[in-house]
């Protein structure tokens, strides 16, 4: 929705920048010729409008260019026989950023169907469809859905008020999307020593698949703060405390910040909370013959009271299979939420209440109408061929897995490629100065993934020689699975006495270090 607002705002800016142009028409020139009108602004802006008759209606073409270089062009095909209107427009600001929109309105007798899409040069995209007409009071009204590239899907409706203005309602988002690029303007936050990427209220975590980096949507990490409750949140009272459950199933509660303002904090779901409708992103987890529902790191059990169905928050049932790391051969399946599939088992990401990032083995997702689950991103040939088989017929291995802790040694000589958060400059640095950064590449050794790209690293300046313009730094700590481990790397120095921020730098491990990672083993 923010993107739509941004698009509208950018168009409004273009229009706003065109206003002075229109005001100065009297000092410029206006000419008419047949169906064309051309206006030339006194300070270099121009506007033109061309209307021509077509076989089935009219075509209107408008172009506005401002002196600053911003422009907007609109092409409208009006079919008076269908009737329908096709409208395409492109707005470009003075910095070359553009937004293109495409909209089709078809009259259906009494109401109209509207479908369209919008893309921006910065990579954002959305599509929408809905209906528009007049409500019982004769006011214009619309209802429809918006599907955004980064922020999930929204349902939206609105009607014009009799005395001006609009009343609108929006529900969503329903599920973020797996993406290879984060939207411009995203922010990085750290929880439990891990990086989360946020944009428009959605949180993402990185993962690597087939050598490519992706980002998958996750529920907000626990103890993140918001200034307002999540969009469409529902209040649930548990033991006299009010909780707010967002549409995607995350819980938060009201608290007070250190400055005394009211804020909302993401918290683990309170056991015993009862809801009647499960979030759309729920998955099924069957343990010892009982099926539970899992949504946003929360387990629910179905309860029937007479004919009334409800779902109660429960702790993770004993026997649930949690794994700390997935084998490298997983594939990604995007249905109502994102699943990782490996060895015939399906997993979803899970954030434990103590901040441990894990995966839960869940039931095979239901087959959507029209076929088997489709891998969302870059499927391997093997998984693609599996995808053509009916999922119900796919044999599910009976092997169970359980998570065990494994101690690994990361040998000396291992490369740690990291980006520094701030520049280290020989002119200002002193020996002992601390800095932090984050991994630019997954840290792997001996065929095993130790920690993912984005994990935090911490280091110090080890040497400064201003006469030779040499500054050396080394890493002291690394965050692995929420734990900060001490490491020793060889001093690293860059030519010119400057180690720039946000540029990958190679650090070589000078001494081995031990790390305990969870791994899944087969139980027969």
Partner 1 sequence: MKSTLSAFVLSALALALLAAWPAAAQDVQQKLEAAKAAAARNQQTLRSYSWLEKTELFLKGELKSTKVEACQYGLDGKVQKAPVVEPPPPEQKRGLRGKVVAKKTGEMKAELESAAALAQQYVPPDSGMMQVVVNAGTASIAQAGPEALKLTFPGYVKAGDALSLTFEKAIKTLRQIDVTTWLDDPTNTVALKVTMLALPDGTSYPGQITLSISKSNIEVRITKTNYQKLAR
Which residue ranges make up the site for partner 1 (CB under 8 A)? 209-211, 328-331, 380, 382, 413-415, 417, 440-449, 494-496, 504-506, 508
The helix (run of H) or strand (run of E) holding residue 515 is strand 513-523
- Asked if 343 and 386 count as a contact pair (C-beta separation under 8 A), the reply is no
The nearer residue to partner 1, 171 or 444, going by C-beta atoms, is 444
The nearer residue to partner 1, 44 or 506, going by C-beta atoms, is 506
The nearer residue to partner 1, 178 or 441, going by C-beta atoms, is 441
The nearer residue to partner 1, 287 or 408, going by C-beta atoms, is 408
Cα angle at 519 between 513 and 523, to 5 degrees? 145
Cα–Cα distance for residue pair 180/178, rounded to 1 Å: 7
- Asked if 224 and 236 count as a contact pair (C-beta separation under 8 A), the reply is no
Q: Give which of 429, 411, 420, 426 is closest to 469, Cα–Cα.
A: 426
Cα–Cα distance for residue pair 312/69, rounded to 1 Å: 58
Q: How far is the CB of 332 from partner 1 (least distance, A)?
A: 10
- Asked if 172 and 231 count as a contact pair (C-beta separation under 8 A), the reply is yes
The nearer residue to partner 1, 87 or 448, going by C-beta atoms, is 448
- Asked if 278 and 295 count as a contact pair (C-beta separation under 8 A), the reply is yes
Q: How far is the CB of 416 from partner 1 (least distance, A)?
A: 9
Alpha-carbon distances, residue 46 vs 126, 416, 432 (angstroms): 30, 55, 60
Q: How far is the CB of 392 from partner 1 (least distance, A)?
A: 24
Cα–Cα distance for residue pair 481/450, rounded to 1 Å: 9
Q: How far is the CB of 328 from partner 1 (least distance, A)?
A: 4
Q: How far is the CB of 212 from partner 1 (least distance, A)?
A: 9
Cα–Cα distance for residue pair 440/456, rounded to 1 Å: 10
Alpha-carbon distances, residue 102 vs 11, 89, 90, 132, 327 (angstroms): 14, 7, 9, 16, 43
Widest CA span of the chain, in angstroms?
87
The nearer residue to partner 1, 129 or 440, going by C-beta atoms, is 440
Residue 181 DSSP label: S
Q: How far is the CB of 413 from partner 1 (least distance, A)?
A: 6
Q: Give which of 264, 259, 185 is closest to 222, Cα–Cα.
A: 264
Q: How far is the CB of 503 from partner 1 (least distance, A)?
A: 8
Alpha-carbon distances, residue 390 vs 319, 385, 386 (angstroms): 29, 11, 8
The nearer residue to partner 1, 23 or 501, going by C-beta atoms, is 501
Q: How far is the CB of 518 from partner 1 (least distance, A)?
A: 17
The nearer residue to partner 1, 308 or 388, going by C-beta atoms, is 388
The nearer residue to partner 1, 210 or 368, going by C-beta atoms, is 210
Report residue 234 CA to chain centroid gap: 22
Q: How far is the CB of 444 from partner 1 (least distance, A)?
A: 3
Cα–Cα distance for residue pair 98/7, rounded to 1 Å: 9
């Amino acid at each position: 929705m923010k993107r739509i607002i941004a698009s509208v705002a950018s168009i409004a800016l273009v229009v706003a920048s065109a206003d002075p142009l229109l005001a100065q028409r009297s000092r410029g020139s206006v000419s008419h010729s047949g169906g064309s009108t051309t206006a030339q602004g006194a300070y270099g802006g121009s506007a033109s409008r061309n209307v021509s008759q077509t076989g089935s209606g009219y075509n209107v073409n408008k172009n506005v260019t401002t002196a600053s270089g911003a422009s907007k062009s609109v092409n409208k095909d009006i079919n008076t026989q269908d009737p329908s209107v096709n409208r395409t427009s492109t707005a470009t600001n003075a910095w070359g950023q553009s937004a293109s929109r495409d909209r089709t309105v078809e009259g259906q007798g009494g109401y109209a169907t509207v479908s369209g899409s919008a893309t921006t040069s910065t990579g954002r995209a959305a599509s929408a469809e809905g209906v528009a007409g007049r409500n019982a009071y004769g006011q214009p009204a619309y209802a429809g859905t918006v599907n955004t590239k980064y922020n999930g899907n929204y349902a939206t409706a609105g009607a014009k008020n009799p005395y001006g203005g609009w009343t609108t309602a929006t529900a969503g988002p329903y599920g973020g999307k797996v993406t290879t690029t984060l939207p411009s303007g995203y922010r990085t936050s750290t929880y439990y020593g891990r990086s989360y990427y946020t944009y428009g209220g959605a949180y993402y975590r990185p993962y690597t698949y087939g050598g490519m980096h992706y980002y998958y949507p996750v529920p907000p990490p626990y103890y993140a703060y918001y200034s307002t409750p999540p969009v469409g949140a529902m209040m649930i009272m548990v033991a006299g405390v009010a909780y707010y459950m967002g549409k995607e199933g995350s819980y938060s509660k009201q608290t007070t910040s250190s400055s005394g303002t009211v804020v909302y904090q993401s918290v683990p779901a309170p056991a015993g909370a009862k809801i009647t409708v499960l979030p759309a992103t729920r998955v099924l987890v069957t343990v010892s013959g009982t099926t539970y529902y899992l949504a946003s790191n929360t387990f629910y059990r179905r309860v029937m009271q007479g004919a009334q169905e409800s779902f109660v928050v429960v702790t993770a049932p004993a026997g649930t299979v949690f794994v700390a790391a997935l084998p490298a051969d997983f594939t990604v399946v995007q249905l109502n939420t994102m699943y990782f599939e490996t060895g015939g088992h399906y997993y979803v990401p899970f954030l434990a209440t103590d901040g441990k990032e894990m995966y839960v083995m869940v039931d095979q997702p239901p087959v959507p109408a029209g076929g088997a689950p489709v891998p969302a991103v870059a499927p391997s040939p093997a998984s693609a061929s599996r995808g053509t088989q009916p999922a119900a017929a796919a044999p599910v291995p009976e092997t169970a897995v359980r998570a065990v802790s494994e101690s690994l040694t990361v040998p000396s000589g291992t490369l740690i490629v990291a980006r520094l958060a701030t520049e280290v400059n020989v002119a200002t640095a002193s020996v002992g100065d601390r800095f932090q950064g984050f991994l630019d590449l997954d840290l792997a050794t001996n065929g095993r993934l130790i920690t993912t790209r984005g994990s935090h690293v911490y280091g110090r300046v080890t040497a400064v020689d201003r006469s030779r313009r040499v500054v050396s730094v080394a890493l002291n700590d690394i965050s692995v699975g929420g734990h900060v481990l001490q490491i020793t790397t060889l001093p690293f120095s860059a030519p010119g006495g400057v180690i720039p921020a946000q540029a990958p730098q190679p650090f070589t491990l000078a001494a081995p270090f031990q790390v305990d990672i969870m791994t899944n083993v087969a139980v027969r």
